Structure 1
Amino acid sequence: MLICNFVSVLLGVSVAIAIRSGKPPSDNCGMLRGNSTERRYNLQILGTDYENSPVVLFPLGKWDVVWLVNHPEELKLYTRNRFQLMEDIKSEKMFKRFTNQTWRSDLCAVIVDFDGLNLRQMFVEPAVKLALQNINDLQLLIDFISYGVVVNANHVAHQLLNIAKPLASSLMERVEIHGTNSRRWIPQLLKKIPRSQLPLNLGGFKDFKPIATCDQI
């Protein structure tokens, strides 16, 4: 997911036209591509768990929602891609894009990593609303999520999750929430997902490569 000012006015116009036409140039995840690297709002399809379900990582702690709500064009692109992602998961298109994979496409496992989330995000009301919407989106996909694991939940993340509970009660029942002590939650994560399917910061290997990185901007 790429962000910010486009390289030229012409490119900006072409992206705007693509959004309106519904036929944007897309990456291998079906996401409309922007042309700035100032901020990143990506998710990753890591691999599979022990049940052969795809594992999707949402590094929400690194998504600068304050910056995003202050950049309308990038927010529009992000919103479009977020909607497309949800539709593709519901229709099972998302995981079928990767034809060399033999995983099941009807259910996925979700990891939400809050590493990097700070108190600044909680002082801007539109940013809080967007952060809550990101969590609510997962609630709307509850029928397609086998389970979820939240890691690196600091006090700010816990505040956000508490606010989100009324919106995402069914999701919360299916999610394990872990704090910032990786020595505690990595062993729990490895009971669900093989080490070979995880990056180093989640208990995997240094040379790990995800199946796909999907840029929402």
Structure 2
Amino acid sequence: MSRIITNYLLTLFLMSTIICGVLTGHADFLENLPPEIQPLYNSDLDTWKPPEHLKRNYPYYLSGFDEEDRPVWVLEFGKWNLRDIVEQGKDAVIEFDKYVNQVILNVYNSTITKHEIVPAIIILDLDEYELSQLTSPATVAYYVEKLRLIVIAMKNLHAAYCINTNFVAQRFLNLIKPLLGKEFEKFEIYGNNPAKWKSRILKTIPSDQLPSWYGGSSNFKPVMIYG
């Protein structure tokens, strides 16, 4: 009987030690995150299912990994009609805020390995960006707010590329660049001539980890599509 009690107490001790270790590790992890990002790990974002209309209209995906196992993310930002969100009103903005927060959480989680946190690679595709996004002051302000949060989240970047930057998108980036801080300096900005940016991207990312329209493989499949 005494042996059973001893084993039971030993099991409780081991379980409490493991739990304390996990909680301590989690606390240490949170402390090392930018303050703006920490609340994302104390929310329901890891289980929240975004509505289909957001996934359809605001696409992004985990494309693959480079040779050092750094995650490669693609945000088709030119298709993101934030003016539509702003004009729908408060409820739509709150819902979209949650969607963007989940984007950031997914990117951060992809950088966490068993042994370390690795930097990410981002492709920000601005194809289809329209002038109508710039003619609404409220929309421009909202763009700045969301991009600042994304840029803050991307402090642990290995590389970032803005591609297919048409005249409108270039004007937009020049307008908001002073507001985004020094972290935005990591972003390399290219126009809509693929010959100029494909070779640069392929120096960093293996071709089999990219879709064909970025110079990758014709039978490419992304690791995970979120939008």
Shift of 1:118: 1.3
CA–CA separation in structure 2 for the residues paired with 1:123 and 1:61: 16
**Aligned-pair identity (%):** 24
After TM superposition, give the deviation of residue 210 of structure 1 in Å. 0.9
Work out the CA distance in 1 between the residues paired with 2:162 and 2:54.
26
How far, CA to CA, are the matches of 2:156 and 2:76 in structure 1?
19
Name the counterpart of 1:8. none
User: For residues 35 and 181 of structure 1, do their structure 2 counterparts lie closer, same or farther at Cα, with a shift above 3 Å needed?
Assistant: closer
DSSP-derived class of the 1:209 partner: coil
Asked whether the 8 Å contact 2:50–2:99 carries over to 1, the reply is: no
Deviation at 1:123, TM superposition (A): 0.8
CA contact (8 A) 2:55 2:226 kept: no
Give unpaired runs (5+ residues) of structure 1.
1-21
Q: Which runs of 5+ in 2 are unaligned?
A: 1-42
Cα deviation, residue 86, structure 1: 3.0
Structure richer in helix, relative to its length: 2
Structure with the bigger RCO (C-alpha within 8 Å, sep 6+) is 1
Match of 1:77 in 2: 95
Tell me the secondary structure at the aligned position of residue 134 of structure 2: helix
Superposition RMSD in Å = 2.6
- Residues 162/103 of structure 1: CA separation in 2 closer, same or farther (3 Å cut): farther
Secondary structure at the counterpart of residue 81 of structure 1: helix
Specify the alignment match of 1:45 in structure 2. 62
Query: Which deviations, in whole Å up to 9, do the C-alpha atoms of 1:167-199 show, x marking residues without a partner?
Result: 223223212111010012111111111110111
1:63 and 2:73 aligned: no
Give SS of 2:179's match.
coil
Map residues 1-217 of structure 1 onto 2, 5 A cutoff: 23=44, 30-36=47-53, 40-72=57-89, 73-87=91-105, 89=107, 92-95=108-111, 105-215=117-227
**Partner of residue 23, structure 2:** none
The Cα of 1:212 is off from its aligned counterpart by 1.1
Q: TM-score when scaled to structure 1?
A: 0.74
Is the CA contact 2:70–2:111 (under 8 Å) kept in the aligned structure 1?
A: no
Secondary structure of the residue aligned to 2:204 is coil
Cα distance between partner residues in 1 of 2:48 and 2:72: 18
